[in-house]
Structure 1
Amino acid sequence: MPLVLGIETSCDETGVGLVRDGVLLGDALASSMDQHARFGGVVPEIAARAHLEALPAMVRHALDRAGVAFADIDAVAVTAGPGLASAVQVGLAAGKAYALALAVPLYGVHHLAGHAAVDTLEHGPLPGRCIALIVSGGHTSLLLLGDLARDPIVHLGDTLDDAAGEAFDKVARLLGLSYPGGPAIDRVAREGDPHAIAFPRALPGTHTFSFSGLKTAVARWVERHPGPVPVADVAASFQEAVADTLSRKAVAACHEHDASTLLMVGGVAANSRVRALTAQRCAKAGIELRVPTPRLCTDNGAMIAAVGDLVIRAGLPPSPLDLAMHPTATLTHALVHP
């Protein structure tokens, strides 16, 4: 079976993975998060420069961990979008260079398809039909999946404004917590009361998400509160609102579309309360919940290699070497088309 090199540079993580026949052989990850922390968010040009500097070493680390050589690589899969334009361009250019130098095919992968595919590395092939909840810093979507490599991907609902992870970052900033906001709120919320404040749940009864109003509700509550702000209670109540919204809509989508499996992926899927409440509701509804380990929920190279592995085994043709990056690509198929 072909050995696939995967490269991911859509945001601030430089990820490399090596996958063969559904098995992750080795991976490596570098983050420029510390360089962005003082700005409270990712600065695209800083991220792009960090990718440029880190990528060769990450490829070498992944090869060493897998115990293979450059000559063993049979195909290159690389994120072609969506993401920060300058960051995606660095990875795509590197992927083309490796493919050309090794005389192997190139596959331009959709970043979000990678999040869905990475679970196969831990839990095996996806069922023929399932609901996927992709929830990250830049994306929140409910999808109906068939064969991830071959079938069109159906969007049941997306966010109208802020993604869930973006809301975590903004609320953390309001509360004086560190960046990135997701892990900071998760830690602080453990000491708070998730029912202390009744924050709103937007668009009930639909598959569509909106977190801008929730973020604003937190800001208004903090502004009006006399005296010291009970940070733990605010964090816990906000986190509960997000977890409630995500899990409720995902389980409802499974019922509506007769899917017995829910796949939850993306950086916010690493949040302890989101995972716990979704697991509780899936168990009650008789739905199998599949969630990767936290380290594979965030952006990584293994997920891109996993998509490459799937599309190669499905017999899909490679991408042209003049494939352009698509920073705003909509997820309709696993591969980004020219």
Structure 2
Amino acid sequence: MDAKISLILAIESSCDDTACAILKNDQVLSNVVAGQEIHTQYGGVVPELASRAHQSHIVPVVDQALKKAGITKKDLTAIAFTRGPGLMGSLLVGSSFAKSLALSLDIPLIDVHHMHGHILAHFIDIGLERPQFPFLAVTISGGHTQIVKVTDYHEMEVIGTTQDDAIGEAFDKSGKMLGLGYPAGPQIDQLAKQGDPKKFPFPVPKAPGLNYSFSGFKTAVLYFIQREVKKNPNFINENLVDICASIQYTLIKILFQKVEKAVKQTGIKTVAIGGGVSANSGIREQLKSYENIGWNTFIPPFEYTTDNAAMIGISAYFKYLEGYNAGMDVTASPRIQM
């Protein structure tokens, strides 16, 4: 094989999705994801059940990714995996499989930070413009809400983060209070399109600097619902779309107040979002609106927003170009920092 061509098999198993992708340099040949429906009945991810499901999913998912890419494991030049952050049991399944495969093929093993993957997903070659360094990345998911200053493929500095809960959890927990199923975020997004976003005003929590706080918002939603339902037992059903619209409007306001502040402080007007919550239509529309005041904005394709292995593969690709090899002593790290 041409020395300039890399074929990287990437594995993502940080939470409840078992994913495998094959990348030829910066192009995705296959991107397979197996979800875990079992968690819906519990209203959230159960770590023990997640790790067990990964064990049953990982072999067929890897096999399918290789077949879709039209290659065999002998064609691979490196194996990549998510080192963290995430659920320890889930991470161990992916890291152990990746180590074994890399060892058996005698090829480099590349560990990837999960959030780096979300940020670098913008550099997958799909024929669109890519962010120019430096830029601000806003990572928004069920477990993270961060503003990151990105100087190059490997130099990233968190300049703002949540002090308690993530925005994705605020969406899901608010939806649970309304009787919506898990995950509630996408349902709120759909219902919000039919409602009045200013019908019910919710408070915007204060947090120092560029940091976030969402726990107070969840408490405010809870007390609001309890108060109104006490007065009218049918309040939720009669006002569901307006409640959802008001919740979404406020969460977007909380998010972008700090992003605006970060742009002003850094002077960087290139902003890219990533993570599962970046699929939210209201967030996407709000970000695009800033182009009217001179921002350059970047939104990932839907298939690269939620957890997937293609984003792990592209992050690994830039490490591979520098000759990186993690070695067999690398370990999963559920609380690894950026």
Which TM-score band (shorter chain)? over 0.9
Of 61, 86, 89, which aligns to 1:86? 89
SS in structure 1 of the partner of residue 198 of structure 2: coil
Pick the aligned partner of 2:38 from 21, 24, 35: 35
Corresponding position of 2:281: 272
**Could you say which residue in structure 2 is the equivalent of 1:14?**
18
1:247 to 249, 252, 256: 256
Q: Aligned pair in 2 of structure 1 residues 306, 124: CA closer, same or farther (>3 Å)?
A: farther
Partner-residue secondary structure (3-state), 1:37: helix
Q: How many Å separate the matches in 2 of 1:18 and 1:125?
A: 21
Q: Please state how far the C-alpha of 1:180 moved relative to its aligned partner.
A: 0.5
Q: CA deviation at 1:316?
A: 4.6
Which structure has the bigger radius of gyration? 2
Matched, 1:236 2:236: no
For 2:148, what is the secondary structure of its paired residue? strand
Q: Is the 8 A contact 2:30 2:66 kept in 1?
A: yes
Amino acid at match of 2:11: I
Quick one: distance in 1 between partners of 2:178 and 2:327? 47
Tell me by how many angstroms 1:125 deviates. Answer: 4.7
Are residue 220 (structure 1) and residue 223 (structure 2) matched?
yes
Gaps of 5+ in 1: 332-338
For 1:95 and 1:124, the matched residues in 2 are separated by 32
Matches within 5 A, 1:53-202: 53-121=56-124, 122=126, 123=128, 125-149=130-154, 151=155, 153-202=156-205
Per the alignment, do residues 142 and 11 of structure 1 end up closer, same or farther by CA in structure 2, a change over 3 Å counting? same
How far 1:66 sits from its partner (Å)?
Answer: 1.3
Amino acid at match of 1:139: H
The 8 Å contact of residues 81 and 110 in structure 2, kept in 1 or not, is answered as yes
Task: Give the aligned partner of residue 258 of structure 1.
Answer: 267
How far residue 20 of structure 1 moved from its aligned partner, in angstroms, is 2.1
- Deviation of 1:284 after TM superposition, in Å, equals 2.4
Deviates more, 1:121-130 or 1:216-225: 121-130
Q: Which residue of 2 aligns with 1:5?
A: 9
Instruction: Please give the secondary structure, in 1, of the residue aligned with 2:159.
Output: strand
Distance in structure 2 (CA, Å) of the matches to 1:96 and 1:45 = 22
Q: 1:136, 1:163 within 8 Å by CA — same for their partners in 2?
A: yes
Alignment of 1:317-328 (within 5 A): 317-328=324-335
TM-aligned CA deviation for residue 154 of structure 1 = 1.1
Give 1:105 deviation, angstroms: 0.6
Contact 1:27 1:61 in 2 (8 A): no
Shift of 1:187: 1.5
| Distance (Å, rounded) in 1 between the aligned partners of 2:286 and 2:203 | 17
Q: Deviations over 1:79-107 (max 9, x none)?
A: 01100010001000011011011111101
Q: Which residue of 2 aligns with 1:336?
A: none
Cα distance in 2 for partners of 1:316, 1:170 equals: 43
Cα distance in structure 1, aligned partners of 2:152 and 2:50: 33
Flag structure 2 segments of 5+ consecutive residues without an equivalent: none
Aligned to 1:119, the other structure's residue is in SS state helix
Identity %: 35
Check conservation: 1:205, 1:249, Cα contact below 8 A: no
Deviation at 1:224, TM superposition (A): 0.6
Tell me the amino acid that sits aligned with residue 247 of structure 1.
F
Secondary structure, counterpart of 1:27 in structure 2 = strand
The CA RMSD measured in Å over matched residues stands at 1.3
Supply the distance in 1 between the matched residues of 2:244 and 2:265 (Cα, whole angstroms).
Answer: 32
Distance 1:317 1:66 in 2: 24
The 2-side partners of 1:14 and 1:251 are apart by 35
How far apart are residue 124 of structure 1 and its match? 5.4
Of 285, 288, 301, which aligns to 2:293? 285
What is the aligned partner in structure 2 of residue 308 from structure 1? Answer: 316
Return the offset for 1:204. Answer: 6.7
CA contact (8 A) 1:130 1:254 kept: no
Aligned equivalents of 2:181, 2:302: Cα separation in 1: 19
In 2, the alpha carbon distance for the partners of 1:291 and 1:48 equals 31
* In structure 2, distance between residues paired with 1:210 and 1:294: 26
Aligned length: 326
For 1:2 and 1:269, the matched residues in 2 are separated by 29
1:255 CA displacement? 2.8
What TM-score do the two structures reach when normalised by structure 1? 0.93
